[in-house]
């Protein structure tokens, strides 16, 4: 008979959300007598991703920030500008550095166990949760899962589901073509081809940068399409001459205001991207997760059903309108961002996206967007109660 090992808490996925939650639990004396199991199919020892965010001053991730930028560039066919973003800095954390620091901190904790196993099934039987992997069966009182599948959101039609999908190359160039203190936040001066498409560049030196081809759209492209776009940009926009590719990364982040809460139960809570923690209008997830973890930990202490915690606020509705517009007018996305950067400084944009702007600032931000599309989206959403087709 298969052995079942019981834990108080099981965390599925050792990415940003899973490791942040595990770390917060073991650091809190409230959970010192609890048992925690962390499961992931990977060893999390490679640099499989990078996370970027903006922040004022030094933050809690400062020891693993590998690069900062004090300026950003926005570009399109009709408008381009370099911006100083003080008092903010744009920061990057490499996945490998994040995993090492967090796993090293967990190694000395007796109440947490890490198992490299792939989860096959989670079953809530009321009194406990069973988690089956390819090797074992475990049970727990509470389960937190960051395992995401697009089917979690695409089974419904009420809310649009787009993807922020991208492919990036870290390149070393023969000629110095990059500004190490300026990140290219968005460059729309490339063929849009009926979608919202831009280049995103994180320079590490004058001769080295991560160059990503990014889309906000419904469907992904063949791998060659991303690669061809990067090659064209390097050769014709940057005119960088000879270059070598040292690293590659590819990914997709959901952009949706769909309420993931229907997947939660009293004892199962989805976290990170699987919990809808990616900012719907941008796909930024790292700092959104860092802000939600302390709230979740405090909520766990109350003993209330896990499916009663809500993070929804007025910014959820703003994101919904934006995605309604982007879903219907995907070929006009570049005009939306061009209008924003023309009429708003990046500091206001960052405050708004951080959900720290005042209501008056919200109005200023919204008025800097193309009005006709957003008014239409507002009336469709509020009065017609249906998603624009």
Six token digits for residue 111: 């109440």
3-class DSSP state for residue 150? coil
Per-residue model confidence (pLDDT) at position 48: 83
Q: Which residues pair with 6 in a beta bridge?
A: 139
Residue 387 has pLDDT above 50, yes or no: no
C-alpha span between 121 and 118 (Å, rounded): 9
Residue with tokens 């499961």: 39
> What's the confidence (pLDDT) of residue 94?
95
Q: Which among 292, 287, 290, 282 is positioned nearest to 312, based on CA atoms?
A: 292
Question: What global pTM score does this model have?
Answer: 0.93
Q: Which helix (H) or strand (E) holds 144?
A: strand 137-145
Which of 193, 187, 191, 230 shows the shortest CA–CA distance to 210? 230
pLDDT per residue over 142-194, tens digit each?
999 999 999 999 999 999 999 999 999 999 999 999 999 999 999 999 999 99
Band of pLDDT at residue 1, cut at 50, 70 and 90: very low
- Give 56's pLDDT tier (boundaries 50, 70, 90): very high
Q: Looking at residue 3, what is its pLDDT?
A: 61
* Side-chain-facing half-sphere of 188: CA atoms under 13 Å: 24
Question: What per-residue confidence (pLDDT) applies to 4?
Answer: 64
Residue position matching structure tokens 């991730």: 61
Whether residue 388 is predicted with pLDDT greater than 50 in this model: the reply is no
Distance CA 371, CA 385 (A): 20
């Amino acid at each position: 008979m298969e052995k079942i090992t019981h834990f108080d808490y099981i965390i599925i996925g050792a990415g940003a959300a899973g490791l942040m939650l595990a770390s917060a639990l073991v650091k809190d004396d409230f959970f010192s007598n609890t048992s925690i199991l962390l499961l992931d199919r990977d060893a999390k020892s490679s640099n499989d991703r990078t996370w970027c965010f903006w922040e004022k001053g030094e933050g809690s991730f400062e020891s693993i920030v590998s690069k900062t930028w004090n300026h950003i560039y926005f570009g399109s066919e009709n408008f381009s500008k370099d911006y100083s973003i003080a008092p903010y800095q744009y920061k990057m954390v490499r996945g490998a550095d994040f995993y090492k620091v967090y796993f090293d901190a967990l190694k000395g904790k007796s109440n947490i166990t890490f198992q490299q196993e792939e989860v096959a099934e989670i079953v809530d039987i009321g009194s406990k949760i069973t988690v089956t992997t390819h090797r074992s069966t475990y049970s727990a009182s509470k389960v937190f899962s960051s395992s995401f599948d697009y089917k979690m959101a695409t089974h419904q039609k009420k809310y649009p589901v787009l993807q922020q999908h991208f492919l990036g190359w870290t390149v070393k160039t023969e000629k110095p073509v990059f500004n190490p203190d300026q990140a290219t936040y968005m460059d729309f001066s490339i063929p849009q081809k009926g979608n919202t498409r831009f280049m995103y560049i994180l320079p590490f030196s004058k001769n080295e940068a991560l160059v990503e081809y990014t889309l906000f759209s419904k469907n992904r492209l063949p791998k060659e399409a991303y690669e061809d776009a990067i090659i064209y940009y390097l050769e014709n926009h940057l005119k960088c001459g000879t270059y070598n590719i040292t690293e590659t990364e590819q990914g997709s982040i959901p952009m949706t205001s769909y309420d993931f809460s229907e997947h939660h139960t009293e004892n199962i809570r989805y976290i990170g991207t699987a919990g809808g923690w990616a900012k719907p209008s941008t796909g930024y997830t790292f700092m959104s997760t860092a802000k939600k973890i302390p709230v979740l930990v405090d909520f766990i202490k109350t003993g209330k059903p896990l499916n009663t915690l809500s993070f929804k606020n007025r910014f959820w509705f703003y994101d919904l309108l934006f995605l309604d517009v982007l879903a219907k007018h995907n070929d006009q996305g570049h005009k939306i961002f061009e209008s924003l950067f023309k009429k708003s400084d990046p500091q206001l944009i960052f405050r708004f996206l951080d959900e720290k702007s005042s209501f008056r600032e919200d109005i200023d931000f919204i008025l800097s967007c193309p009005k006709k599309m957003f008014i239409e989206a507002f009336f469709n959403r509020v009065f017609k109660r249906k998603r624009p087709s």
